[in-house]
Structures are given as structure tokens and as C-alpha cells.
Structure 1
């Protein structure tokens, strides 16, 4: 029986979606450092290369590196202490810590492969080395958790689903929105896992994990109380994160 044009498009769309799902499921592997099974579309070598290629770009977008070497040395020392005393030292990544000049953007982030950044706008709000360790430990958690590589695999799946839906049922917008919802949910999971790992790393390196709760308060104050609803944000609400951090502290101290 000959398929009509609409039916043929539907079959093609279903085939595209099926291909994306099969490819995604076939990329599942266990992270040897967290024990969590996740879909990964990059090798560790590719993660490192992406991080190194994009580090100068990210620095430029935030006004370059902060010119005070004394402060940079402090960031390096805290980062090194965290890496040397935790499972991070067993990973294939080379961790490099960068203090950015940006005086306005309160942020810290990690690129795949070990490139970690904190803006001066956030650094200047900190009151202790433990708070700095909380931020850097959290970002190391993103690298150890391979969150960027996992998100890339999820993005590829979401894009494939959107393409298949558009071809098969002219529903690309709906599929794209569904894909973004999935990515936001997983993004929140990344933050919570990194908070958990950050607590673990802080304790192992001799830092007070309660300082990570203080960091959440700093971030909350920096937001001016005008937070968007959690379901619209890739980051969990700071109050919800504090609750999870307290649970992690109890877990790892026992």
C-alpha cells in the first residue's frame, strides 16, 4: 500500500525520533567517580579540549582575569587543596581556577575538563576561605559529575525529538518546549548533585561545609529577592538547596 504524503512524513518523523532515542540510550555509561549512570556524548579528551578552547572566550566575556595576583593565588591554593584531598585528583582532568575581573556579575561556573571560574563580583562578597571552598568545591563537582557532557547529550536528544516532531506532525514548537523542560529539570539535578559533592569535598579537605549554606544566603541576597519561579529556572531555589545541603552535611559527617 502506498503511503500518502502526510503518512510518509509521520513515518519519517517517528524514525528520526527513534534514532535519537536509540543513540541516547546507547551512550549510557556509569560515572566511575559518582557511580551514577548517565548519557555521555563526549570523551574525556573532548571535554578537556572544549574547556581549553573556550576558557579564553569566557574570560574575555567577563572583562579578562582579575589583575591582583595575590587574590588569584588564594583562589589557586583553595582549589588545589580541594583537588588534592578528594576524588577529583583521580580524574583525568587538569583543574585550573580563574578569578575574573567582572565586578557586576555574581557568578561562578565550570567548563568541561576542569576549567573553573569565579567572578570578582562574587569573590568580594565572601567573608571566609571556607565560603570560597564551598563555591570551588561545587564547581569541581560539576566537572567530576561530567554535567556539561551529559547536558550536551540531552540537548542532542531534545533537538532530534524536535526535528522528528516537526517533520512528522508539524509540532516542532511543542517538542522543543518539552525538550527545554527536560533540560531545565536535569539542570537543577546537576546543581543539587554538585552541592552534595561540594559538601563531601569540603569535609575531605578540612573545610567547614556550613559555609556553603552561607554562600546560598549570599546568592539569595545578590538576587535582590526577585527570583523567578523555580520551575522556570535551571537552578533550584536557594532555600531548597539549603535544605539539601543540610542533609548532605549530616550524611557525610556520620
Structure 2
């Protein structure tokens, strides 16, 4: 019976998508690809619906994320002083958090690992970014684009839904918070579906703009990712940065869990054009003391 209900919902959403396509013909020709995309989006929404209907409360999500963050923070220590960079991460993150839709206690953390070219979010409001990734940045706007992307994974319940999916797969009870707190952090480091990553890109750009940053910070970062992807993944260019093997491995993991950089650049330019943000090109360079720490060998 439940399977038939699900099938009926998929058919209903698909029919709705076709109606929308028909109505939009007045404003322009719609390709078969657009119709397939809308039907796929409808089916995805149906599959996510059970998770949305049984969603964790903000309090439960926060308790799970806080426990994970505490466990994770205790696992890394560094003899090097990165305090200026950490303050910058918290400052830029704080500006973004003011404009988030969900009223959570967002917290931003620097992982003092020069080999970590990645960032990730945990349920309930924690965002982590590796020093190796920050080291690629020249402006606050680039930093805002990455932090904003991760914040949107929380703001749009991607992290919470990941908890629910993992609980179902591991036969854990959603009501037993202690069990959920033990989920491995790799679950959240691994990234999300292409649809969710693209959503985080789009919304992260708009969030950064609301907070006073340039949308071209995202374009700059995606361009750097594209150069690194070409050099270290498809080996079609000269490396813009000299990276260790460990750093290359973490970067490769990042690329596996995100859309191609070229696709992200194209989408960013569409967002900029669609919201008439073309003139907001000015980016704010990192302060000298931050740049000094980023250049440290």
C-alpha cells in the first residue's frame, strides 16, 4: 500500500511538472531536458518528503551537532599560532550567520591542518574549514563563499536529513540521541547529493551578498578549484599551487563530493546575472596579519 502511495505521489508531481512546463511555454521554448529535470526534481522531493515529515527538532539537531563538534575539536592540536586566521573565520562566519533563515547558534571553527583542503558542516550549526583551504584564499569574499556554502547545508536541513538517512541505514532510533551522537564525522565530510551541493552554492552566494560580500568571491574560489582540478585530477594544466600528496588526496575527496568546478562557475554567473549583481565586483583583501599567517611555511 505504501509503495502504491509513493508511486501515486511521484505521478502527481510529474503531472504537476508537465503542467508548469506547459504554462511556461509562453515565455520561451522548453527543451525535453528541462522537462526531465523537473520530473527528476519532483521525484527527489517525494523521496525526501518522509525525512521532512519526521524531521529532528532544532534542539535534538543541536545536541547531536554539539556532541560531534566537541569530539572532533578534541582530536586536533597545533603548535603553530593561527589565531588571526581563526578570528577571521569567526568574524566572516558571524556576518553570514546573522542572515541565515534558521535561528541556530552558528559557530565557525578553523582546523589547523595545512594539508586539509576541505570544509564541512555538522548538524545544529557547526561549520569547520581546514587551514589548507583558507590558504588558497586572498579575500574575505572568497572565505565568505565557502563558509556560506557550508552554512546553507545546515540552513536547508541537509545535515539533519543526513542524520536521518544514516540512522535508518544503521538501524538507529531517532529518539535515542546518544546513539546519533556517535555517527562518524566522515558521514558529513563526504559531501551531499549534486542537487544539494548546487543548492548550497546558489543560496551561499546570495547569503554572502546579504552579508555585504561580493558574489565574485565564489567565482574566484570556483576558478581556483577549476585550476586545481585540471592540474591534479585530469592532469591537463600546470599546478597553480605546490601541494603535498596528502593535500592532493583531501582535495580529490572534495572534488568527488561536489559538482565540477566548471559547472559551479557557470551556475554562479547565472545567479549573479539573475539577481543583477554584476556591479558588485569589489572584494576585500585579507588583513596583513592574516595574510602573514597564511603565507607561513
Residue equivalent to 1:225: 232
Match of 2:220 in 1: 214
Change (3 A) 1:143 1:186: closer
Where does residue 58 of structure 1 map in the other structure? 72
Name the CA shift for 1:57/1:253 in 2 (closer, same or farther; >3 Å): farther
SS at match of 1:236: coil
Instruction: State how far apart, in whole Å, the 1-side matches of 2:54 and 2:261 are.
Output: 28
Verify the 8 A CA contact 1:40 1:150 in the aligned structure 2: no
Matched with 2:199 is 193
Shift of 1:64: 6.0
Distance across 2 between alignment mates of 1:185 and 1:102 = 19
Of 118, 135, 140, 1:129 maps to 140
Q: Does 1:152 align with 2:163?
A: yes
Structure 1: any 5+ residue segments left out of the alignment?
1-13, 30-36, 161-183
Cα deviation digits, residues 120-178 of structure 1 (max 9, x gap): 10111101111011111111111101101122334456678xxxxxxxxxxxxxxxxxx
Q: Compared with structure 1, are the counterparts of its residues 233 and 69 closer, same or farther at alpha carbon in structure 2 (3 Å cutoff)? A: closer
Is contact 2:82-2:112 (8 Å) kept?
A: no
Residue 222 of structure 1: how far off its partner (Å): 4.0
Q: Which residue of 2 aligns with 1:71?
A: 85
CA distance in 1, matches of 2:226, 2:125: 26
d(CA) in 1 for partners of 2:110, 2:191: 29
Q: Among residues 236, 241, 249, which one is paired with 2:259 in the alignment?
A: 236
> Does the CA contact (< 8 Å) of 1:41 and 1:152 recur in 2?
no
With 185-194 and 68-77 compared, the bigger mean Cα shift is at: 185-194
Give aligned pairs, total: 204
Pick the aligned partner of 1:245 from 268, 273, 276.
Answer: 268
* SS of the residue 1:116 aligns to: strand
Contact 1:40 1:149 (C-alpha < 8 Å) held by counterparts? no
Distance 1:65 1:72 in 2: 14
Q: Which has the higher contact order (CA 8 A, sep 6+)?
A: 1
Relative distance call for 1:49 and 1:65 in structure 2 (3 A) is farther
Mind listing any 5+ residue stretches in structure 2 that lack a counterpart?
8-44, 172-189, 235-250, 278-297
The residue that corresponds to 2:31 in the other structure is none
| TM superposition score normalised by structure 2 | 0.58
The alpha carbon displacement at 1:39 in A equals: 5.5
8 A contact 1:41–1:149 mirrored in 2: yes
CA-based RMSD of the aligned residues comes to 3.8
Partner-residue secondary structure (3-state), 1:125: coil
- Taking structure 1 as the reference length, the TM-score comes to 0.67
CA distance in 2, matches of 1:121, 1:203: 25
**d(CA) in 1 for partners of 2:63 and 2:225?**
31
Cα distance between partner residues in 2 of 1:64 and 1:248 = 39
